[in-house]
Amino acid sequence: MTHVGKILVVAIMAFSLIFLGTSTVVFMTSKNWKQETEKQKTEVGKVKKSLTEAQAQVDAAKKELADAQSQAATATKQLNDRIRGLEDQNKRDLEQITDVREKLTKAQESAKSALEEAGAKREETALLRTQKSAVEKQANEFKLRQADLTDRIRELERILETATRNNTDLRERVAKFTTLLQKNGLPTDISQIKGVESPPAVQGQIKRVDASNRKVEMTIGSDDGLVVGHELNLFRLSPKPEFLGKIQIVAVDPDQAVGKVIGNTYQGKKIKEGDIVSSTINPRF
């Protein structure tokens, strides 16, 4: 029997007692009250017995109700504890959800930034590919030019090799010509040699003659344009004009020069101080 059923039984018994009492009063007023009293006593005994049983049932129900209340209180406490636990868990879950949302927002922002960066990198990659294509094209052109330059270098190397051989040959020839010039007392300076090719218009006098009559000193020098190697004509004016021979310059100072006789003097004549040297007077034979 449930708690509600037991409570209803007790209520019915109470109403039954009230009805019985009311019926007894009514009956006693209209019947033989003794008989009725005995009868009512019997009924009352039954009712008391039923009441006792009902009271026992009520007590049992109360005990069960108390136990149920205790269990309900325990269950309520457990439920409250569970609710508090769930609330705490819910709070933690909300905090975790909030944290996850924040992280998700940050992740979305990061993903957006990553997408933008990826887009920029794609554009940069496309640009680099274009540049790469241009560089490869230029590299191919450079390779072609390199091949041309390689051929040109080989040709220049052959030319250089030929020029080196020619240079070596020319150096050997120059060394031989230099030795030959030195043996003949001629200058090795190219500027002096060029000067020898075109001696200036000069005229001077002999101021000293060596004992061998082969070398002379004269009154004109480099200030007059003379260089080593120049050749001058040698004359005598008195007692009559006559040609004596040729002089080659072997040493030059600013105001004087030293020359040597080329070959022999005309008719073996001796050179004297005061004789004339000139590049403008030519001999007549």
Contact 242, 180 (CB under 8 A): no
Q: Which of 198, 176, 199 is nearest to 188 (CA)?
A: 176
Q: Which of 119, 229, 115, 113 is nearest to 182 (CA)?
A: 229
Q: Which of 206, 261, 271, 191 is nearest to 231 (CA)?
A: 261
Q: Which pLDDT does position 222 carry in this prediction?
A: 92
- Among 15-24, 192-201, 267-276, name the one with the lowest average pLDDT: 192-201
Paired tokens of 19: 């009805």
Pairwise CA distance, residues 100 & 109, whole Å = 14
Question: What does the mean pLDDT of the chain come to?
Answer: 82
The CATH code belonging to domain 198-278 is 2.40.10.340
Q: Which of 215, 227, 207, 201 is nearest to 259 (CA)?
A: 215
| Residues 223-247 pLDDT 10s | 999 998 899 999 998 888 899 999 9
Q: Which pLDDT does position 100 carry in this prediction?
A: 84
Instruction: Show me where the domains of the chain are located.
Output: 3-88, 198-278
| Residues 79-130 pLDDT 10s | 888 888 888 888 888 888 888 888 888 888 888 888 888 888 888 888 888 8
Task: Please check the confidence at residue 33 and state whether its pLDDT lies above 90.
Answer: no
Q: Which pLDDT does position 221 carry in this prediction?
A: 94
| Residues 39-48 pLDDT 10s | 777 877 777 7
Paired tokens of 200: 């200036």
| Residues 128-168 pLDDT 10s | 888 888 888 888 888 888 888 888 898 888 888 888 888 88
CA angle 142, 148, 150 (to 5 degrees): 95
Q: Which pLDDT does position 193 carry in this prediction?
A: 53
Q: Following DSSP, what letter does each residue of 120-182 receive, concatenated?
A: HHHHHHHHHHHHHHHHHHHHHHHHHHHHHHHHHHHHHHHHHHHHHHHHHHHHHHHHHHHHHHH
pLDDT (mean) for 168-192 = 70
Q: Which pLDDT does position 261 carry in this prediction?
A: 93
